[in-house]
């Protein structure tokens, strides 16, 4: 972080933050019990482990270290040790929420089975007509290249509302968006940046599968059509946060699009992406960092070096935004440029607000929104496209 801009303390899970506290007390236990219910063939030991985790969060138990075997044991031990002795409802929220989902992976023995505990929930969304209908509409958007890019960036943003861990956000939908739902819209500057000097690598730090990933891939297809030499998708290495994308989700979706059953335009997109993948122009870069509780300025050298010289890095979703800004309560008018000054490449965040951390808003906007709804930061209605391009 810039030395001239002190970073606020991260949000905690105690009663100092209503949403973080409610997440640990109510939301996550409910999600973990639903995960067990949606996988009725899980062995009794797995179902018991998920119930035990839910009860521990509700009753505010001390946060235990992971069990072995776990290939990420050492990384998580380093993350857990500063919180040894903390309880689930009295610790740093970003650590606690991320680590709770990691303990789901332990409970279901994912490293041994490879079975995605959230697959039934993911499948439900793909069985709906809504994401495919919206993709067809987005791909058929009229106008020239700039108009189409505006529509594709909008689709990639508002698809983030469809988050299987956030029912309230999903209720706002991703198809009909009111003008005042846009709190910051830097799309024009981002598109101008891409058009000014086509080529190079564009990276996505992806968030959800489903509607969001569908539109991420549509945007990726447009970028590969003369604007980027390569597109790299940074996805989670293992399932987390219910709907977060892993490599299997991307590969399945490309095949589904290419199969032609989702419409002619979707079929062309799928075949384009498959050809780009085979040629090495579309790459998947799963990494445990995206499953971790570390912030974006803590990038390991392998990732920092991958971003050096990038044409653009597109940071998707609420959890990645929290990772980007330290999951802290900045003054809402703190310039986004200054908060992300540490990042080594031009960057744009596309995020529907589903938690309290936010910066880069116009003077007085936060106050007006709070007067209308004190929970405006976490309901999933509002969105931002915020860019820092002067790198």
Domain boundaries, given as residue ranges, for the chain: 18-117, 120-388
With 70 as the cut, is the pLDDT of residue 2 above it?
no
CATH number of 120-388: 3.40.50.10880
What is the band of 5 on the pLDDT scale with cuts at 50, 70, 90?
confident
Per-chain mean pLDDT for the chain? 95
Backbone dihedral angles phi then psi of residue 244, each to the nearest 5 degrees: -65, 140
Nearest to 387 by CA among 146, 160, 187, 180: 187
Give the span between the Cα atoms of 232 and 135, in whole angstroms: 21
Neighbour-count burial for 132-168, b at 16+ CB within 10 Å, e otherwise: bebbeebbeeeeeeeebbbbbbbbbbbbbbbbbbbee
Query: For residue 88, what are the contacts with CB-CB under 8 A and spacing of at least 6?
Result: 13, 24, 56, 57, 60, 61, 63, 96, 100
pTM summary value: 0.96
Q: Could you give the 3-state DSSP secondary structure of residue 70?
A: coil
Q: What is the pLDDT of residue 162?
A: 78
| Residue matched to tokens 């310039």 | 335
What was the pLDDT predicted at 130?
87
Region of residue 310 (left: phi > 0; alpha: psi -120 to 50; beta: else): beta
The answer to whether the CB of 224 falls within 8 A of the CB of 276 is: yes
* Among the listed residues 47, 68, 98, 81, the one whose alpha carbon sits nearest the alpha carbon of residue 242: 98
Residue 170 has pLDDT above 60, yes or no: no
pLDDT in tens, 17-69: 999 999 999 999 999 999 999 999 999 999 999 999 999 999 999 999 999 99
Q: Which fold has domain 18-117?
A: Transcription Elongation Factor S-II; Chain A (1.20.930)
- Tell the residue number behind the tokens 């044991």, with chain if given: 73
């Amino acid at each position: 972080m810039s030395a001239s801009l002190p970073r606020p303390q991260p949000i905690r899970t105690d009663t100092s933050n209503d949403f973080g506290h409610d997440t640990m007390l109510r939301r996550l236990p409910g999600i973990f019990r639903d995960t067990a219910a949606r996988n009725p063939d899980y062995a009794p030991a797995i179902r018991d482990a998920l119930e035990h985790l839910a009860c521990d969060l509700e009753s505010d138990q001390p946060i235990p270290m992971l069990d072995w075997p776990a290939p990420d044991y050492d990384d998580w031990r380093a993350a857990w040790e500063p919180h040894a002795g903390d309880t689930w409802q009295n610790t740093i929220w970003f650590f606690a929420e991320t680590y709770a989902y990691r303990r789901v992976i332990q409970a279901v023995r994912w490293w041994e089975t490879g079975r995605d505990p959230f697959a039934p929930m993911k499948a439900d969304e793909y069985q709906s007509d809504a994401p495919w209908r919206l993709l067809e509409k987005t791909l058929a958007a009229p106008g020239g290249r700039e108009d189409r890019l505006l529509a594709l960036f909008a689709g990639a943003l508002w698809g983030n509302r469809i988050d299987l861990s956030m029912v309230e956000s999903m209720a706002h939908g991703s198809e009909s968006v009111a003008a005042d739902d846009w709190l910051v819209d830097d799309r024009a500057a981002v598109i101008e940046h891409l058009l000014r000097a086509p080529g190079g690598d564009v990276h996505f730090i992806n968030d959800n599968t489903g509607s969001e990933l569908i539109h991420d891939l549509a945007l990726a297809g447009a970028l590969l059509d003369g604007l980027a030499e390569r597109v790299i998708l940074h996805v989670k290495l293992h399932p987390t946060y219910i709907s977060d994308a892993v490599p299997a989700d991307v590969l399945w979706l490309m095949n589904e699009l290419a199969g032609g059953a989702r419409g002619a335009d979707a079929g062309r997109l799928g075949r384009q992406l498959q050809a780009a993948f085979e040629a090495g122009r579309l790459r998947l870069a799963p990494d445990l960092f995206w499953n971790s509780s570390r912030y974006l300025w803590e990038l390991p050298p392998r990732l920092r070096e991958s971003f050096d010289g990038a044409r653009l890095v597109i940071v998707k979703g609420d959890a990645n935004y929290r990772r980007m800004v330290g999951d802290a309560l900045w003054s809402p008018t703190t310039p986004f440029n200054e908060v992300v000054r540490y990042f080594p490449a031009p960057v744009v965040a596309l995020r529907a607000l589903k938690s309290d951390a936010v910066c880069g808003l116009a003077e007085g906007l936060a106050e007006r929104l709070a007067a209308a709804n004190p929970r405006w930061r976490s309901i999933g209605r509002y969105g931002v496209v915020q860019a820092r391009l002067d790198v």
